[in-house]
Amino acid sequence: MEGAGCADTHVRPGVMRGAMIVTSKKDPQQVKAYAGNAKRLVIIGCSECAAVCRTGGSEQVKEMAELFADREVLATISIESPCDKRITARDLKRIDEEIAGADAVIALTCGSGVQAIAEVTGREIIAALDTHFLGMVERLGKFYERCSHCGSCILNDTAGICPVTRCPKSMRNGPCEGIQDTKCEVFTDRECVWHTIYEKLKERGQLERFTVYHEPVDWSKCMSPREELWERS
C-alpha cells in the first residue's frame, strides 16, 4: 500500500496515536482528472493520521502542489484533525478568501475528513486518498486491523483477540471446518485465530471461555451511518 510508513514533521515528537485511520494515495492522474480544468486550487492535508501514513502530511501536500505546478495554488494547509469539524472550521478561517476563490479544493485526508471539510466549506472536495481501516499501531509503517466496530464485543471470552476481525470468515464460535492443522484455510501462511485464542485461554487457565456460545452479531448496532449523541448535562 503506497504511502504508509513514516512520521510527518507536524506530528509532535514522541507522540503517536495507539490507533489511526490508515489511508493510501490515489493515483495522481485520477486526482488530476477529478480536478478537470480547475485553474485555482486549495490543498488541505492532515497532520495526524495521514501524516503518519505519509499520505497527507506537509510533504505530501507539497507533492500535490508540485503535481499542479501548471496551475495557481492559492493556499495549502495541514489541519491537526480535519475529521473534527470544530478544528476544521477554526483552521480554515485563515484561508476563507482563498477557498472562496478556488475552482477546486483537494483534501489529503481520510473520508471523514473530506466530508467534514465539505460540510464546513459547502464546497465540493476532491478526495486524494483512499481510506482503509482503523489501524492498531505497532510502530511507524506497521498498522494492523484489529477491530471491526461491530457493537457486539466478545473480547472478554476470546483472550482479548477479535475473531470477527482477524478471521477472514468472522467466525464467532470456534474455527471453521477448513482449518488445516493450526493454519487458516484462507490465509495459509497464518495461524488460525481460533487456535491462537485456544492456546491463550489454555495458558491463562480459562479454557471454559472457549466453549461460551456467542449469538450472531446484531448488525443493527452497526448499520451505517452510525452516530453517537450525548445530551448536555
| pLDDT at site 14 | 34
Its sign, for the CA torsion 204, 209, 211, 216, is negative
Sequence spans of domains, the chain:
19-133, 152-214
CATH value of 19-133 in 3.40.50.2300, 3.40.630.30, 3.30.365.10, 3.40.50.300: 3.40.50.2300
What's the grid cell of residue 80?
Answer: 491537526
pTM of the full structure: 0.77
What's the grid cell of residue 83?
Answer: 475529521
| pLDDT at site 17 | 54
| pLDDT at site 140 | 78
pLDDT tens, N- to C-terminus, the chain (233 residues): 333 333 333 334 334 455 689 999 999 999 999 999 999 999 999 999 999 999 999 999 999 999 999 999 999 999 999 999 999 999 999 999 999 999 999 999 998 999 899 989 988 899 999 989 888 888 878 888 888 888 888 998 999 899 999 999 999 999 999 999 999 999 999 999 999 999 999 999 999 999 999 999 887 777 777 777 777 76
- Tell me how far apart the alpha carbons of residues 153 and 158 are, in angstroms, rounded to a whole number: 10
Angle formed by the axes of helices 28-35 and 58-67, nearest 10°: 60
Radius of gyration of the chain (CA): 22
Candidates 145, 162, 151, 167; CA nearest to 200 is 162
What count of other Cβ atoms lies within 10 Å of the Cβ of residue 226? 9
